Structure 1
Amino acid sequence: MQIRLKPVAALLLPLFAGSLHAEARLDTIVVTASRFESAQQENPIAAQIITADEIRNSSATNVSEVLNKLGGVHSRINFVGTPDSPLDLRGFGMTGEQNTLVLVDGQRISENELATARLSAIPLDSIERIEILRGAGAVLYGSGASGGTINIITRTAINAPLSGNVSTRVGSHDLRDIRGGFRAGGEMWGLRLNTQRFRTDNYRDNNRSELDTASGELRFGNRNGFVALGFNVDDQKSRLPGARTEALLHSDRRGATTPDDYLNSKSQRFSLRGEKRLGELTLALDIGRRDKRADMYNNSAWGSTLARTDVGVTTVSPRLLWQTGFDQVVNSLTVGADWSHWSYDNDTAATGFMSALDESGKQKNRAFYLRNDVHLTATGTRISIGGRKENVRQTQHERLVPRDAAEKHALSAYELALQQELGAGFSAYGRLGRSFRVANIDENRCWSAPCPTLLKPQRSHDREIGARWQGGKASLGVSLFEMDIDDEIHYNHLSFSNINLSPTRHRGLELEGRLLIGDSLDIAARYTRTQARFRQGIYGGVDVSGNDVPLVPKDRVSLTLGWQVFAATRIGLNLSYTGRQRYDNDQANRFRQMPAYTVADIKIAHDLGDWRLALGVNNLFDRKFYSYGIVNGTYTSFNAYPEDRRNAYVSAEYRF
């Protein structure tokens, strides 16, 4: 891999001290990347951990902002207007969220459609920590983890004293955000409840967003095992303003192109989880059920559509962990199975030249996996090896085309990782792996005959090397990755369809770290250099070999500064830079690139007894920018979704 480190990275290098391996601050953390909670385990190789204290002290107000500001995860604007930003680990562009797997307590919430994970339904106060594993997770979790996995771990209330919080936040664009949380527990039980009511008009006309959520968990048990019943329900209502043309970005930036459009949805998720330790063995079982109903209206000069969709998914995941040790060897063997059944129904009525749709689909997954981790304590060597076999059956029925399609796929994933302690706080690691992704129902949709066969699964062959250094008040991490992908699933404007691409390659450099200066100042920084290119391919008569994949910024820098001004007063500043990238649909690389942008957010918080008062300003320097743009068919102009200008809020939180 030949990747050039730009001068900006060299300037930041002395500051880098990665939060991903801050062992001094994470001694009590139990990482669950092996899908177990009760058994004490080591941090997975090259994992990034974001703690609850880091979240509380940051300028982030929702999970999407936490991942972007603290986790360095690239995100773009959500067209719906809710704080559910599409996520992209390691440069997949528009399909980033389909290649980045999001989990809550080890259960996936990523959609099997072209829709973002409902991160806004996860209350910040319920989060114990967030684990980010870049380029890993396919062995344990299967499809959609090519870019990596993000596991959001919620708090347990066992042994928690009666406590809670109530907060309110008001701000620009008629923002009103009310949240509440409650925890209580005893020696063998715990109860946690959270709720939120969110309203905002957003920056654009016809972009009002409303969100009501409630979640909770009732748990019985102790460190030797537990049973937990959890739930999460949400009700979302959003108006959709549409894109702005290049001309309108200058003349009417806040206007709405589609003043009648909307998207309303309701979802509910229930889970039953349990673990039991029996000496060296730990047994676990997860059962989950999620249902979602959505209504979407679109009106244009060509006609209108009203789409109603119903989605349901049931998952069952039994597994076993065997932990044993002899002499100076510690061994952990994980064996498990995943079963899931996903169903989908879409009824779309249409007028004018728009297309109606009467569609249903199902997907059944059956998987078996194992992973073994060995730690040679005498030499400081860790070896992790694992594999997964998964059978997927997809069916898709469309009555109006008509179409009946069915495919079976036999898929596999593996991972081999080695980490070696080198002394003086240094360590190095290497990782090889293979992952896969199955096309979702939106990508397989057919609007007119003749319909093609369902898309082939995407397969990725991954390589990564890295090094870490941990000092007393500073740490540094560097990694290089390369992914060769066959049959990458992608919407290609040159062929006007979702297709399996000819081979592509994703490669990059990642630097991250943290520096503590005295007792009052901490600096965290991250630099990512990403290159995503078509290795070969001719589409619509255009040879794209060597071209950039759209919507993948080559350079990204984030800098987070925390200053404890006084014992009760803290200032948090986040500065992020996103470099130039190709517009969506510009696989031919004929159009100019999207402009780079830099955004600064600041938050001042003051504790007053049981109260915390805060003032926040986003886009402090009032930059005009957009994170998503799409080129038109003639390569003479583009449409974009403008981001918010300078905006502010005040908040008050009471804890008891």
Structure 2
Amino acid sequence: MSSALRPRLLAAAVSLCFIAPAAVAQVPQALSPVVITGARFDADPSLAPIGATVITADEIRRAGASDVNAAIRKIGGVFGRQSLDGSPDFTLDLRGFGTNSAQNMVIVVDGVRLSENELRNPVLSTIPIDSVERIEITRGGASVLYGDGATGGVINIVTKRPDQRAGSGSVFVEGGSFHAGEARASMAQSWSDFSADVSAGHQRTDNYRDNNAFRQSQLSGGLQWHTDAGRVGVRYEGARQDSRLPGALTEAQFKANPRQTFSPNDYGALDSDRLTGFGAYRLDGHDLAAELSYRKRTVDSNYLSSDFPYVSSFDTRQLQFSPRVRKLGAVRGMVNELLVGADFTKWERTVKVAGAPADPYAEQKSKAVYLRDELRFDPVHDGRISAGVRRELFDKHYRDTQSYATTGYNLTQGLNAWEIQLSYMPASGLTVFGKAGQSYRLANADENAYTPVINEALRPQKSKDLELGATYAIDAASKATARLFRSNLTDEIFYDPVNFANTNLDPTRRQGFELDAEQRIAPDWRVSAHYQYVDAKFRSGAFAGRQMVLVPEHTVTARLSWVPATGHSADLGVQWVDDQRYGEDFANSCAGRIPSYTTLDGRYARTVGQWELAVSGQNLTDKRYYSQAYSCLRGNGGIYTADGRQLKLSAR
């Protein structure tokens, strides 16, 4: 990168992001390698989005997180529910959206959106953990930049560029409880302006429960050409998964034996392929960037243990194109940054059901344009103000001639998002910030297939979002961020257990408090903690004042790390989750709740030459608990057991 280009990128990043002033003051003129940030453009790694929680590669390795999902939960403090298919892809929940949490946040990997247009979680376990440079967790509405479903927030995963790890390679092997095993290898190399990388891995485990075995193979690789003016490249990621499905238990069954299954013949599979082309270039004072991505997924489901066997195969294809341009200039001596971009997406799915004479088909096309401008109005006090708007149009089409609920619809929906953000440094080390805006979400293909009115799609969900916060930083290792937030939702999209249909709820609200803190308590010791309080309730209607289901009011995550300069390291983490309402308890009439629980994990590692040897453990106290339960009103069923204690040995 040319020396002339670096200060321009720095100024743009400073004008675009809100961070602790201590970090701003220490940013050097010669930037470290650039990465994708929450602003959807390259910037210095120290310039995190407003109020974001940043997880670094060092923290991931020290904690022994074996996949991206685990790192987000254990280090980032995000609440997660046990996956139903035995995979490491827990359901992540930002700001208390319960069973629909995956549809109320956006996950992005290097600028490419992973969030699905169906009731499925984004698959993060296929991302090689060794390739991750950092993870940015930005809580709160972000629909201006990311569109549909960004009410709860955005998780931005940034991978290392091949030229950043040129001439390097790694090998990792691990074994542990429940016949768990994993092996992965990666390498990267650069030649002048060209670089390449490849990664492959395989993991298997029988998991804690009966009929819950999981197998996954993964392959990824990329090629990139880079010059002082920009870069262009292509990347492929593929994965193959096989899962056994243990099903749900009643409360009596859970107490008798939480490991048992009553669906011994159920199983599923997932094949996923994604090909992405990307580029960034500086031309005549403008920064240009774009990604073009194609993803294909095949999901097979075989439910054979019930009285009504069901076999199906889902084929989905998605094409995304996201061009954007940024212009950095000056207005009366103040730094100004203007961002204009567009997002185009085409998603389609064909379902093959055994014995059905016709295949259900769903399609969604969307096109959006957004504009965001930010002005640094007071360099002395690091004062910044930004505003942005977005307009997005959706075309939806669905047909299923055999459905008993919805046979088809064809409609167009248009939505707007806006935001205003302000940041100011009233005193050294202290930054206060605030943001207000509107975010939105549309019902996906699965939700619109079962609605209260046949052939009538659900109304869009809208949210008025407000956040106030402050960051105090002594240095990079000692800082704290506190946030107060409120989201007033209209037409929230949720499953109605009374009418057995997806519906638009009466007005609801999410409000609460979040605190992130980290402190170096001694030269070799560091402690970090995340606390979240969420008050999720109906604002009006038949359930006015009632709590929303499957939302813990309080969650606390804390970690203690020991990293001396002797080749040893240790990391200990604890998470406490408050009790929750059962999944169908809208009236708050169930006598009991999902019990609160505390889990403990730890890792000790020793470096010997080029090898790192480690022993790690999850749920070290072997706590019997569950985070998924739906049927309190019908015999206390619908319980999905969480994992018991698991110990692992690894070598890297």
- The reply to whether TM is greater than 0.5 is yes
**Pairing partner for 1:96 from 96, 101, 104:** 101
Partner residue of 1:270? 275
Cα offsets for 1:387-423 (capped at 9, x unmatched): 1000001111012137220121110111100000122
Partner residue of 1:414? 418
- In 1: Cα distance, 2:586 partner to 2:22 partner: 40
Q: Structure 1: state its 5+ residue gaps.
A: 1-18, 538-542
Return closer, same or farther for 1:22/1:259 CA change in 2, 3 Å cut-off. farther
Within the alignment, does 1:482 sit opposite 2:483 as a pair?
A: no
Q: Secondary structure of 1:639's partner?
A: coil
Q: Secondary structure of 1:55's partner?
A: helix
After TM superposition, the score normalised by the length of structure 2 is 0.92
AA at the equivalent of 1:370: L
Within the alignment, does 1:298 sit opposite 2:303 as a pair?
A: yes
Superposition map of 1:441-480 within 5 A: 441-446=445-450, 451-472=454-475, 473-480=477-484
Superposition map of 1:297-446 within 5 A: 297-325=302-330, 328-349=333-354, 358-376=359-377, 377-401=379-403, 403-446=407-450
8 Å CA contact retained: 2:547, 2:588: yes
Partner residue of 2:82? 77
Partner residue of 2:265? 260
Partner residue of 1:597? 597
Q: CA deviation at 1:275?
A: 0.8
Cα offsets for 1:301-330 (capped at 9, x unmatched): 431000111000111111101012366522
Superposition map of 1:494-643 within 5 A: 494-537=498-541, 543-565=542-564, 567-591=566-590, 592-634=592-634, 636-643=635-642
Within the alignment, does 1:107 sit opposite 2:121 as a pair?
A: no
- In 1: Cα distance, 2:647 partner to 2:631 partner: 32
AA at the equivalent of 1:456: R
- In 2: Cα distance, 1:415 partner to 1:47 partner: 17
**Pairing partner for 2:143 from 125, 138, 141:** 138
Superposition map of 1:138-287 within 5 A: 138-158=143-163, 160-287=165-292
- In 2: Cα distance, 1:459 partner to 1:432 partner: 14
- In 2: Cα distance, 1:198 partner to 1:595 partner: 32
Return closer, same or farther for 1:408/1:150 CA change in 2, 3 Å cut-off. same
Q: Secondary structure of 1:145's partner?
A: coil
Return closer, same or farther for 1:26/1:508 CA change in 2, 3 Å cut-off. farther
AA at the equivalent of 2:481: G
Q: Structure 2: state its 5+ residue gaps.
A: 1-18
Within the alignment, does 1:58 sit opposite 2:63 as a pair?
A: yes
After TM superposition, the score normalised by the length of structure 1 is 0.92
Q: CA deviation at 1:488?
A: 0.4
Q: Please give the root-mean-square deviation of Cα atoms over the aligned residues, in Å.
A: 2.1
- In 1: Cα distance, 2:553 partner to 2:610 partner: 45
8 Å CA contact retained: 2:21, 2:430: no
- In 2: Cα distance, 1:570 partner to 1:484 partner: 45
- In 1: Cα distance, 2:95 partner to 2:279 partner: 33
8 Å CA contact retained: 2:319, 2:347: yes
- In 2: Cα distance, 1:30 partner to 1:163 partner: 19
Q: Secondary structure of 1:139's partner?
A: helix
Q: CA deviation at 1:572?
A: 0.4
Q: CA deviation at 1:37?
A: 2.2
AA at the equivalent of 1:516: R
Return closer, same or farther for 1:233/1:253 CA change in 2, 3 Å cut-off. same
Q: Secondary structure of 1:590's partner?
A: coil
Q: CA deviation at 1:446?
A: 3.8
AA at the equivalent of 1:527: Y
AA at the equivalent of 1:617: G
Q: CA deviation at 1:137?
A: 2.5
8 Å CA contact retained: 1:38, 1:225: no
- In 1: Cα distance, 2:159 partner to 2:428 partner: 34
Q: CA deviation at 1:342?
A: 0.4
Aligned residues: 625
8 Å CA contact retained: 2:265, 2:305: no
Q: CA deviation at 1:526?
A: 0.9
Return closer, same or farther for 1:217/1:536 CA change in 2, 3 Å cut-off. same
- In 1: Cα distance, 2:23 partner to 2:411 partner: 46
Return closer, same or farther for 1:192/1:526 CA change in 2, 3 Å cut-off. same
Q: Secondary structure of 1:121's partner?
A: coil
Cα offsets for 1:227-284 (capped at 9, x unmatched): 0101100000000000111111122221111111111110100000001012531111
Q: CA deviation at 1:374?
A: 1.4
- In 2: Cα distance, 1:105 partner to 1:120 partner: 16
Question: Taking every aligned residue pair, what percent have the same amino acid on both sides?
Answer: 35
8 Å CA contact retained: 1:31, 1:42: no
AA at the equivalent of 2:609: G
8 Å CA contact retained: 2:579, 2:594: yes
- In 1: Cα distance, 2:453 partner to 2:50 partner: 48
Cα offsets for 1:181-206 (capped at 9, x unmatched): 11111341211211110100000111
More displaced 10-residue stretch of structure 1: 561-570 or 504-513? 561-570
Cα offsets for 1:114-170 (capped at 9, x unmatched): 111110000111111111111142111110111001111111112643110011010
Return closer, same or farther for 1:471/1:389 CA change in 2, 3 Å cut-off. same
More displaced 10-residue stretch of structure 1: 319-328 or 171-180? 319-328
8 Å CA contact retained: 1:39, 1:277: no
8 Å CA contact retained: 1:38, 1:224: no
- In 2: Cα distance, 1:77 partner to 1:107 partner: 25
Return closer, same or farther for 1:446/1:391 CA change in 2, 3 Å cut-off. same
Return closer, same or farther for 1:375/1:223 CA change in 2, 3 Å cut-off. farther
8 Å CA contact retained: 1:159, 1:188: no
- In 1: Cα distance, 2:195 partner to 2:210 partner: 44
Q: CA deviation at 1:517?
A: 1.7
AA at the equivalent of 1:340: T
Q: Secondary structure of 1:586's partner?
A: coil
- In 2: Cα distance, 1:536 partner to 1:407 partner: 29
AA at the equivalent of 1:438: L
Q: Secondary structure of 1:617's partner?
A: strand
Cα offsets for 1:588-609 (capped at 9, x unmatched): 1111211100000000011111
Q: CA deviation at 1:358?
A: 3.2
- In 1: Cα distance, 2:222 partner to 2:84 partner: 31
More displaced 10-residue stretch of structure 1: 53-62 or 322-331? 322-331
AA at the equivalent of 1:651: S
Q: Secondary structure of 1:65's partner?
A: helix
Partner residue of 1:493? 497
- In 1: Cα distance, 2:203 partner to 2:435 partner: 42
Q: Secondary structure of 2:304's partner?
A: strand
Return closer, same or farther for 1:344/1:530 CA change in 2, 3 Å cut-off. same
Partner residue of 1:10? none
- In 1: Cα distance, 2:380 partner to 2:27 partner: 23
AA at the equivalent of 1:400: Q
